[in-house]
Amino acid sequence: MNLFDFSLKLNGYPLKEAKTELASIQKKTDKDFKQYIGQKRYDIVAYHLSQNLFYKSLAPNLNLDNWSSVPVMTKKDLQQPLKERLSTGFTAKNVYINKTSGSSGDPFIFAKDKFSHAMTWAIIQDRFGWYNLDFNTSRQARFYGIPLDKKGYYKERFKDSLSKRFRFSVFDLSDDAFAKHIKKFKSTAFEYINGYTSSIVQFAKFLERQELILRSICPTLKACVVTSEMLFDDDKRLMENQFGVPVINEYGASELDLIAFQNHNNDWQLNSETLFVEILDDDDNTLPVGKEGRVVITSLYNKAHPFIRYDIGDIGALSEKSTPRIPILKTLIGRTNDIAILPSGKRAAGLTFYYITKSIIEDDGNVKEFVIEQLEKHRFKIIYVSAKLLSEEKKQTIIKAMENYLEKGLTIIFERQDQLKRSKSGKLKQFTSFVTSTQ
Protein backbone atom coordinates (compact mmCIF):
# COMPACT_ATOMS: atom_id res chain seq x y z
CA MET A 1 0.00 0.00 0.00
CA ASN A 2 1.20 3.55 -0.79
CA LEU A 3 0.89 4.80 2.77
CA PHE A 4 1.95 8.38 2.07
CA ASP A 5 -0.58 8.85 -0.73
CA PHE A 6 -3.24 7.06 1.30
CA SER A 7 -2.69 9.35 4.32
CA LEU A 8 -3.26 12.41 2.13
CA LYS A 9 -6.43 10.90 0.67
CA LEU A 10 -7.63 10.01 4.17
CA ASN A 11 -7.31 13.66 5.16
CA GLY A 12 -9.34 14.82 2.18
CA TYR A 13 -6.53 15.89 -0.15
CA PRO A 14 -7.34 14.71 -3.71
CA LEU A 15 -3.80 13.73 -4.72
CA LYS A 16 -4.88 11.49 -7.61
CA GLU A 17 -6.85 14.33 -9.22
CA ALA A 18 -3.95 16.73 -8.60
CA LYS A 19 -1.51 14.39 -10.33
CA THR A 20 -3.86 14.14 -13.30
CA GLU A 21 -4.05 17.95 -13.46
CA LEU A 22 -0.26 18.26 -13.26
CA ALA A 23 0.24 15.70 -16.03
CA SER A 24 -2.20 17.67 -18.20
CA ILE A 25 -0.24 20.90 -17.63
CA GLN A 26 3.08 19.23 -18.44
CA LYS A 27 1.76 17.83 -21.75
CA LYS A 28 0.95 21.30 -23.12
CA THR A 29 2.89 22.70 -26.06
CA ASP A 30 5.02 25.79 -25.44
CA LYS A 31 2.36 27.97 -27.06
CA ASP A 32 -0.45 26.40 -25.03
CA PHE A 33 1.61 26.62 -21.86
CA LYS A 34 2.05 30.39 -22.25
CA GLN A 35 -1.71 30.75 -22.75
CA TYR A 36 -2.31 28.53 -19.71
CA ILE A 37 -0.22 30.82 -17.46
CA GLY A 38 -2.02 33.94 -18.70
CA GLN A 39 -5.44 32.36 -18.20
CA LYS A 40 -4.65 30.98 -14.73
CA ARG A 41 -3.37 34.38 -13.60
CA TYR A 42 -6.55 36.03 -14.83
CA ASP A 43 -8.79 33.37 -13.30
CA ILE A 44 -7.26 33.39 -9.82
CA VAL A 45 -7.38 37.20 -9.58
CA ALA A 46 -10.98 37.28 -10.85
CA TYR A 47 -11.94 34.58 -8.37
CA HIS A 48 -10.57 36.41 -5.34
CA LEU A 49 -12.01 39.74 -6.45
CA SER A 50 -15.47 38.18 -6.48
CA GLN A 51 -15.15 35.72 -3.59
CA ASN A 52 -12.75 37.32 -1.11
CA LEU A 53 -13.63 40.60 0.63
CA PHE A 54 -10.14 40.85 2.15
CA TYR A 55 -8.50 40.73 -1.27
CA LYS A 56 -11.04 43.10 -2.78
CA SER A 57 -10.14 45.65 -0.10
CA LEU A 58 -6.45 45.31 -1.02
CA ALA A 59 -7.07 45.85 -4.71
CA PRO A 60 -9.73 48.57 -5.19
CA ASN A 61 -8.21 49.84 -8.47
CA LEU A 62 -7.32 46.52 -10.05
CA ASN A 63 -7.87 46.13 -13.80
CA LEU A 64 -8.14 42.45 -14.77
CA ASP A 65 -6.75 43.21 -18.23
CA ASN A 66 -3.66 44.95 -16.86
CA TRP A 67 -1.36 42.71 -14.79
CA SER A 68 0.78 45.64 -13.62
CA SER A 69 -2.30 47.08 -11.88
CA VAL A 70 -2.44 44.03 -9.61
CA PRO A 71 -1.03 45.19 -6.23
CA VAL A 72 1.90 43.49 -4.55
CA MET A 73 0.96 41.80 -1.26
CA THR A 74 3.33 41.67 1.71
CA LYS A 75 3.47 39.51 4.81
CA LYS A 76 2.31 42.45 6.91
CA ASP A 77 -0.91 42.60 4.88
CA LEU A 78 -1.65 39.08 6.09
CA GLN A 79 -1.13 39.64 9.81
CA GLN A 80 -4.81 39.68 10.72
CA PRO A 81 -7.18 36.89 11.76
CA LEU A 82 -7.31 34.06 9.22
CA LYS A 83 -11.13 33.97 9.14
CA GLU A 84 -11.09 37.52 7.75
CA ARG A 85 -8.84 36.42 4.88
CA LEU A 86 -10.67 33.29 3.72
CA SER A 87 -12.75 33.23 0.54
CA THR A 88 -16.50 32.58 0.55
CA GLY A 89 -17.33 28.97 1.36
CA PHE A 90 -14.06 28.25 3.12
CA THR A 91 -13.70 27.81 6.88
CA ALA A 92 -11.07 26.46 9.23
CA LYS A 93 -12.79 23.07 8.93
CA ASN A 94 -12.43 22.57 5.18
CA VAL A 95 -8.95 23.96 4.43
CA TYR A 96 -5.32 23.10 5.15
CA ILE A 97 -3.98 25.46 7.84
CA ASN A 98 -0.39 26.07 8.85
CA LYS A 99 1.89 28.80 10.12
CA THR A 100 4.94 30.32 8.45
CA SER A 101 8.29 29.85 10.18
CA GLY A 102 8.69 33.53 10.97
CA SER A 103 12.24 33.60 9.58
CA SER A 104 11.34 36.86 7.83
CA GLY A 105 10.26 38.43 11.12
CA ASP A 106 6.61 38.52 10.03
CA PRO A 107 5.01 35.14 10.88
CA PHE A 108 1.34 34.51 10.11
CA ILE A 109 -1.20 31.71 9.82
CA PHE A 110 -2.26 30.80 6.29
CA ALA A 111 -4.66 28.45 4.52
CA LYS A 112 -4.86 26.44 1.30
CA ASP A 113 -7.89 24.77 -0.16
CA LYS A 114 -7.51 21.01 -0.25
CA PHE A 115 -7.00 20.72 -4.01
CA SER A 116 -4.32 23.42 -3.90
CA HIS A 117 -2.51 21.55 -1.12
CA ALA A 118 -2.78 18.32 -3.12
CA MET A 119 -1.18 20.14 -6.07
CA THR A 120 1.71 21.09 -3.78
CA TRP A 121 2.33 17.43 -3.01
CA ALA A 122 1.94 16.46 -6.67
CA ILE A 123 4.70 18.95 -7.58
CA ILE A 124 6.98 17.78 -4.76
CA GLN A 125 6.58 14.12 -5.74
CA ASP A 126 7.17 15.00 -9.39
CA ARG A 127 10.45 16.79 -8.64
CA PHE A 128 11.78 14.11 -6.30
CA GLY A 129 10.87 11.64 -9.04
CA TRP A 130 13.51 13.28 -11.25
CA TYR A 131 16.02 11.46 -9.02
CA ASN A 132 14.01 8.21 -8.68
CA LEU A 133 12.90 9.08 -5.16
CA ASP A 134 9.40 7.96 -4.17
CA PHE A 135 7.65 9.25 -1.04
CA ASN A 136 5.81 5.94 -0.69
CA THR A 137 8.80 3.61 -0.97
CA SER A 138 12.09 5.54 -0.56
CA ARG A 139 13.33 5.69 3.00
CA GLN A 140 14.38 9.18 4.10
CA ALA A 141 17.01 10.29 6.60
CA ARG A 142 15.39 13.52 7.83
CA PHE A 143 17.44 16.36 9.36
CA TYR A 144 14.68 18.65 10.61
CA GLY A 145 13.50 20.16 13.86
CA ILE A 146 10.72 18.56 15.87
CA PRO A 147 8.21 20.05 18.35
CA LEU A 148 9.28 19.48 21.94
CA ASP A 149 5.77 19.38 23.39
CA LYS A 150 4.45 15.82 23.81
CA LYS A 151 1.50 16.10 21.41
CA GLY A 152 3.50 17.79 18.66
CA TYR A 153 6.42 15.41 19.11
CA TYR A 154 4.38 12.22 18.69
CA LYS A 155 2.34 13.72 15.86
CA GLU A 156 5.54 14.32 13.86
CA ARG A 157 6.90 10.89 14.71
CA PHE A 158 3.65 9.32 13.47
CA LYS A 159 3.84 11.32 10.23
CA ASP A 160 7.46 10.19 9.86
CA SER A 161 6.45 6.56 10.15
CA LEU A 162 3.77 6.97 7.45
CA SER A 163 6.29 8.68 5.19
CA LYS A 164 9.13 6.15 5.63
CA ARG A 165 11.27 8.75 7.39
CA PHE A 166 13.64 8.62 10.33
CA ARG A 167 14.23 11.99 12.00
CA PHE A 168 17.69 12.99 13.22
CA SER A 169 17.83 15.84 15.73
CA VAL A 170 19.25 19.12 14.42
CA PHE A 171 19.55 20.45 17.97
CA ASP A 172 22.45 18.15 18.89
CA LEU A 173 25.34 18.45 16.43
CA SER A 174 28.00 16.91 18.69
CA ASP A 175 30.41 14.22 17.56
CA ASP A 176 28.68 11.77 19.92
CA ALA A 177 25.34 12.42 18.21
CA PHE A 178 26.90 12.05 14.75
CA ALA A 179 28.54 8.76 15.79
CA LYS A 180 25.04 7.46 16.64
CA HIS A 181 23.83 8.68 13.25
CA ILE A 182 26.48 6.50 11.59
CA LYS A 183 25.17 3.44 13.39
CA LYS A 184 21.65 4.20 12.14
CA PHE A 185 22.90 4.58 8.56
CA LYS A 186 24.68 1.22 8.85
CA SER A 187 21.50 -0.55 9.89
CA THR A 188 18.94 1.27 7.69
CA ALA A 189 18.51 1.24 3.91
CA PHE A 190 18.15 5.01 3.51
CA GLU A 191 17.72 6.18 -0.09
CA TYR A 192 18.09 9.90 0.52
CA ILE A 193 18.87 12.60 3.05
CA ASN A 194 16.53 15.59 3.34
CA GLY A 195 16.69 18.58 5.64
CA TYR A 196 18.24 21.85 6.74
CA THR A 197 21.48 22.74 5.00
CA SER A 198 23.51 23.85 8.03
CA SER A 199 22.96 20.69 10.08
CA ILE A 200 23.69 18.40 7.13
CA VAL A 201 26.90 20.34 6.42
CA GLN A 202 27.99 19.68 10.01
CA PHE A 203 27.35 15.97 9.53
CA ALA A 204 29.50 16.06 6.36
CA LYS A 205 32.30 17.78 8.29
CA PHE A 206 32.15 15.02 10.91
CA LEU A 207 32.46 12.41 8.15
CA GLU A 208 35.45 14.29 6.74
CA ARG A 209 37.16 14.33 10.14
CA GLN A 210 36.52 10.61 10.50
CA GLU A 211 37.64 9.97 6.89
CA LEU A 212 34.34 8.27 6.09
CA ILE A 213 32.22 8.17 2.92
CA LEU A 214 28.56 7.73 3.83
CA ARG A 215 27.64 5.69 0.75
CA SER A 216 30.22 3.07 1.70
CA ILE A 217 28.37 2.74 5.01
CA CYS A 218 24.88 2.97 3.47
CA PRO A 219 25.11 1.64 -0.13
CA THR A 220 21.40 2.30 -0.84
CA LEU A 221 21.89 6.09 -0.58
CA LYS A 222 21.02 7.89 -3.85
CA ALA A 223 20.85 11.62 -3.10
CA CYS A 224 20.79 14.44 -0.55
CA VAL A 225 18.16 17.21 -0.79
CA VAL A 226 18.84 20.37 1.21
CA THR A 227 16.34 23.13 1.91
CA SER A 228 15.43 26.21 4.00
CA GLU A 229 18.94 27.66 4.30
CA MET A 230 21.59 28.95 1.87
CA LEU A 231 23.75 26.35 0.14
CA PHE A 232 27.28 27.51 -0.65
CA ASP A 233 29.34 25.92 -3.43
CA ASP A 234 32.13 24.71 -1.14
CA ASP A 235 29.60 23.15 1.26
CA LYS A 236 27.95 21.39 -1.66
CA ARG A 237 31.30 19.99 -2.80
CA LEU A 238 32.07 18.84 0.75
CA MET A 239 28.72 17.05 1.09
CA GLU A 240 28.99 15.38 -2.31
CA ASN A 241 32.51 14.18 -1.46
CA GLN A 242 31.58 12.82 1.97
CA PHE A 243 28.16 11.41 1.10
CA GLY A 244 29.16 10.00 -2.28
CA VAL A 245 25.84 11.10 -3.85
CA PRO A 246 24.49 14.21 -5.65
CA VAL A 247 23.37 17.13 -3.48
CA ILE A 248 20.13 18.73 -4.71
CA ASN A 249 19.09 22.24 -3.75
CA GLU A 250 15.41 22.91 -2.99
CA TYR A 251 13.70 26.27 -2.44
CA GLY A 252 10.18 26.45 -1.08
CA ALA A 253 7.76 28.32 1.15
CA SER A 254 5.13 26.59 3.24
CA GLU A 255 2.46 29.18 2.42
CA LEU A 256 3.02 28.73 -1.31
CA ASP A 257 4.55 25.59 -2.72
CA LEU A 258 7.84 24.12 -3.81
CA ILE A 259 9.32 27.15 -5.61
CA ALA A 260 12.47 25.78 -7.24
CA PHE A 261 14.27 22.45 -7.49
CA GLN A 262 17.68 21.68 -8.93
CA ASN A 263 17.39 19.71 -12.18
CA HIS A 264 19.86 17.35 -13.85
CA ASN A 265 21.53 20.30 -15.63
CA ASN A 266 22.37 21.81 -12.23
CA ASP A 267 19.86 24.60 -12.88
CA TRP A 268 17.46 25.80 -10.21
CA GLN A 269 14.25 25.18 -12.13
CA LEU A 270 11.29 27.22 -10.93
CA ASN A 271 7.88 25.67 -10.47
CA SER A 272 5.95 27.14 -13.40
CA GLU A 273 3.03 24.71 -13.20
CA THR A 274 1.36 26.03 -10.04
CA LEU A 275 3.20 29.31 -9.45
CA PHE A 276 3.96 32.46 -11.42
CA VAL A 277 7.29 33.95 -10.29
CA GLU A 278 8.35 37.54 -10.97
CA ILE A 279 11.42 39.59 -10.09
CA LEU A 280 10.44 43.20 -9.30
CA ASP A 281 12.28 46.39 -8.43
CA ASP A 282 11.40 48.62 -5.46
CA ASP A 283 8.66 50.31 -7.50
CA ASP A 284 6.99 46.98 -8.41
CA ASN A 285 8.26 47.07 -12.00
CA THR A 286 9.32 43.82 -13.68
CA LEU A 287 13.09 43.54 -13.98
CA PRO A 288 14.85 42.05 -17.01
CA VAL A 289 16.36 38.59 -16.68
CA GLY A 290 19.71 38.62 -14.90
CA LYS A 291 18.83 41.62 -12.71
CA GLU A 292 18.43 41.06 -8.97
CA GLY A 293 15.24 42.16 -7.27
CA ARG A 294 12.36 41.11 -5.03
CA VAL A 295 10.96 37.63 -5.55
CA VAL A 296 7.18 38.03 -6.01
CA ILE A 297 4.97 34.97 -6.46
CA THR A 298 1.39 34.24 -7.46
CA SER A 299 -0.22 30.98 -6.36
CA LEU A 300 -2.32 29.92 -9.36
CA TYR A 301 -4.47 27.32 -7.55
CA ASN A 302 -5.16 28.52 -4.02
CA LYS A 303 -8.83 29.60 -3.92
CA ALA A 304 -9.16 29.52 -0.12
CA HIS A 305 -6.63 32.29 0.46
CA PRO A 306 -5.12 34.86 -1.96
CA PHE A 307 -1.38 34.81 -2.59
CA ILE A 308 -1.36 37.10 -5.61
CA ARG A 309 1.82 39.01 -6.45
CA TYR A 310 2.97 38.05 -2.98
CA ASP A 311 6.36 39.47 -1.92
CA ILE A 312 7.95 36.48 -0.22
CA GLY A 313 10.76 38.61 1.25
CA ASP A 314 13.63 37.16 -0.80
CA ILE A 315 16.01 38.73 -3.31
CA GLY A 316 16.93 36.86 -6.47
CA ALA A 317 17.34 36.97 -10.25
CA LEU A 318 16.10 34.94 -13.20
CA SER A 319 18.56 33.33 -15.57
CA GLU A 320 18.93 34.38 -19.18
CA LYS A 321 18.21 30.74 -20.05
CA SER A 322 14.65 31.07 -18.72
CA THR A 323 11.59 30.28 -20.83
CA PRO A 324 7.90 30.53 -19.82
CA ARG A 325 7.80 26.74 -19.46
CA ILE A 326 11.17 26.36 -17.73
CA PRO A 327 12.08 29.54 -15.82
CA ILE A 328 15.47 29.25 -14.10
CA LEU A 329 16.43 30.97 -10.85
CA LYS A 330 19.94 32.33 -11.42
CA THR A 331 20.61 33.59 -7.92
CA LEU A 332 18.95 33.76 -4.53
CA ILE A 333 20.96 36.03 -2.28
CA GLY A 334 18.82 36.00 0.84
CA ARG A 335 15.98 37.79 2.49
CA THR A 336 15.19 41.47 2.05
CA ASN A 337 15.52 41.94 5.81
CA ASP A 338 19.05 40.49 5.68
CA ILE A 339 20.50 43.55 3.96
CA ALA A 340 23.33 45.26 5.84
CA ILE A 341 23.29 49.08 5.85
CA LEU A 342 26.87 50.32 6.23
CA PRO A 343 28.04 53.66 7.76
CA SER A 344 28.59 55.18 4.30
CA GLY A 345 25.01 54.36 3.33
CA LYS A 346 26.14 51.50 1.12
CA ARG A 347 23.93 48.39 1.25
CA ALA A 348 25.22 44.83 1.01
CA ALA A 349 23.57 41.45 1.19
CA GLY A 350 24.17 40.12 4.70
CA LEU A 351 25.34 36.82 3.29
CA THR A 352 28.24 38.72 1.70
CA PHE A 353 29.69 39.11 5.20
CA TYR A 354 29.03 35.49 5.96
CA TYR A 355 30.61 34.29 2.71
CA ILE A 356 33.73 36.46 3.05
CA THR A 357 34.27 35.31 6.63
CA LYS A 358 33.50 31.68 5.83
CA SER A 359 36.32 31.48 3.29
CA ILE A 360 38.82 32.42 6.02
CA ILE A 361 37.37 31.13 9.26
CA GLU A 362 36.93 27.46 8.31
CA ASP A 363 40.19 26.77 6.48
CA ASP A 364 41.88 24.98 9.39
CA GLY A 365 38.86 23.03 10.67
CA ASN A 366 38.89 24.71 14.09
CA VAL A 367 35.58 26.55 13.72
CA LYS A 368 32.55 24.26 13.36
CA GLU A 369 29.85 26.88 12.83
CA PHE A 370 29.37 30.62 13.03
CA VAL A 371 26.79 33.35 12.51
CA ILE A 372 27.10 37.11 12.05
CA GLU A 373 25.01 39.81 13.70
CA GLN A 374 24.97 43.50 12.77
CA LEU A 375 24.50 45.43 16.02
CA GLU A 376 25.02 48.94 14.62
CA LYS A 377 25.92 50.23 11.17
CA HIS A 378 29.63 49.97 11.92
CA ARG A 379 29.59 47.14 14.49
CA PHE A 380 29.33 43.43 13.74
CA LYS A 381 29.55 40.41 15.99
CA ILE A 382 30.82 37.01 14.84
CA ILE A 383 29.52 34.25 17.12
CA TYR A 384 31.31 30.96 16.62
CA VAL A 385 31.66 27.40 17.91
CA SER A 386 35.20 26.04 17.90
CA ALA A 387 37.63 23.68 19.56
CA LYS A 388 39.82 26.63 20.57
CA LEU A 389 39.66 30.42 20.53
CA LEU A 390 40.36 32.21 17.26
CA SER A 391 43.88 33.59 17.20
CA GLU A 392 44.44 37.35 16.96
CA GLU A 393 46.08 36.79 13.59
CA LYS A 394 42.96 35.04 12.27
CA LYS A 395 40.71 37.79 13.66
CA GLN A 396 42.75 40.49 11.95
CA THR A 397 42.64 38.59 8.66
CA ILE A 398 38.84 38.46 8.88
CA ILE A 399 38.54 42.17 9.75
CA LYS A 400 40.85 43.13 6.88
CA ALA A 401 38.93 40.98 4.39
CA MET A 402 35.59 42.47 5.42
CA GLU A 403 36.96 46.00 5.05
CA ASN A 404 38.52 45.21 1.66
CA TYR A 405 35.29 43.80 0.27
CA LEU A 406 32.98 46.35 1.88
CA GLU A 407 34.41 49.49 3.49
CA LYS A 408 36.89 50.61 6.10
CA GLY A 409 36.07 51.65 9.66
CA LEU A 410 34.03 48.58 10.59
CA THR A 411 34.24 47.23 14.15
CA ILE A 412 34.22 43.43 14.35
CA ILE A 413 33.86 41.68 17.70
CA PHE A 414 34.15 37.93 18.26
CA GLU A 415 32.26 35.74 20.70
CA ARG A 416 32.92 32.05 21.19
CA GLN A 417 30.02 29.86 22.33
CA ASP A 418 29.58 26.15 23.00
CA GLN A 419 26.51 25.92 20.77
CA LEU A 420 24.71 28.23 18.34
CA LYS A 421 21.13 29.19 19.02
CA ARG A 422 18.72 27.78 16.45
CA SER A 423 15.08 28.68 15.92
CA LYS A 424 12.37 26.44 17.37
CA SER A 425 12.16 24.69 14.01
CA GLY A 426 15.89 23.98 14.05
CA LYS A 427 16.89 26.44 11.33
CA LEU A 428 20.05 28.50 11.65
CA LYS A 429 19.96 32.15 10.55
CA GLN A 430 23.42 32.88 9.22
CA PHE A 431 23.15 36.68 9.21
CA THR A 432 20.89 38.95 11.26
CA SER A 433 20.81 42.75 11.18
CA PHE A 434 19.39 44.73 14.08
CA VAL A 435 19.83 47.97 12.15
CA THR A 436 16.93 49.76 10.46
CA SER A 437 17.15 52.27 7.62
CA THR A 438 16.22 55.06 10.05
CA GLN A 439 19.11 54.43 12.43
CATH number of the domain at 352, please. Answer: 3.30.300.30
User: Sign of torsion, CA 390 394 395 398?
Assistant: negative
329 lies in the same domain as 348: no
61 lies in the same domain as 200: yes
| Tens of pLDDT, residue by residue, the chain (439 residues) | 578 888 889 889 999 999 999 999 999 999 999 999 999 999 999 999 999 999 999 999 899 999 999 999 998 888 888 999 999 999 999 999 988 755 544 567 899 999 999 999 999 999 999 999 998 899 999 998 776 667 777 788 877 877 788 988 887 888 899 999 999 999 999 999 999 888 899 899 999 999 999 999 999 999 999 987 788 888 999 999 999 999 999 999 889 999 999 999 999 999 999 999 999 999 999 999 999 999 999 999 999 999 999 999 888 999 999 999 999 999 887 665 567 888 988 877 676 777 678 767 766 668 888 888 999 999 999 999 888 899 999 899 889 888 887 889 999 999 999 888 877 666 778 888 888 755 5
323 lies in the same domain as 353: no
Asked whether residue 438 is domain-assigned, the answer is no
How many whole angstroms separate alpha carbon 333 and alpha carbon 331?
A: 6
280 lies in the same domain as 362: no
Q: Are strands 247-253 and 367-374 parallel, antiparallel or unpaired?
A: unpaired
List the domain range (segments joined by +) for residue 293. Answer: 3-335
Asked whether residue 439 is domain-assigned, the answer is no
How many whole angstroms separate alpha carbon 135 and alpha carbon 140?
A: 8
- What is the model's pLDDT at position 133? 95
262 lies in the same domain as 400: no
How many whole angstroms separate alpha carbon 345 and alpha carbon 418?
A: 35
* Paired residues of 166 in beta bridges: 141
How many whole angstroms separate alpha carbon 427 and alpha carbon 145?
A: 8
| CATH classification at residue 98 | 3.40.50.12780
- What is the model's pLDDT at position 425? 65
Asked whether residue 205 is domain-assigned, the answer is yes
159 lies in the same domain as 306: yes
Q: Starting from the edge strand earliest in sequence, which strands make up the sheet with 367-374, in order?
A: 411-416, 379-386, 367-374, 431-433
Last residue of a domain, one of 335, 365, 400: 335
- In the chain, the number of structural domains is 2
How many whole angstroms separate alpha carbon 229 and alpha carbon 153?
A: 23
109 lies in the same domain as 161: yes
CB 304 within 8 A of CB 48: no
Query: CB-side exposure of 189: number of CA atoms within 13 Å?
Result: 3
116 lies in the same domain as 230: yes
Last residue of a domain, one of 293, 310, 335: 335
User: Sign of torsion, CA 61 62 64 67?
Assistant: positive
Q: Distance between the two ends of the chain, CA-based, in angstroms?
A: 59
Smallest CA-to-CA distance from 360 within 395, 386, 406, 410 is with 395
Last residue of a domain, one of 278, 301, 335: 335
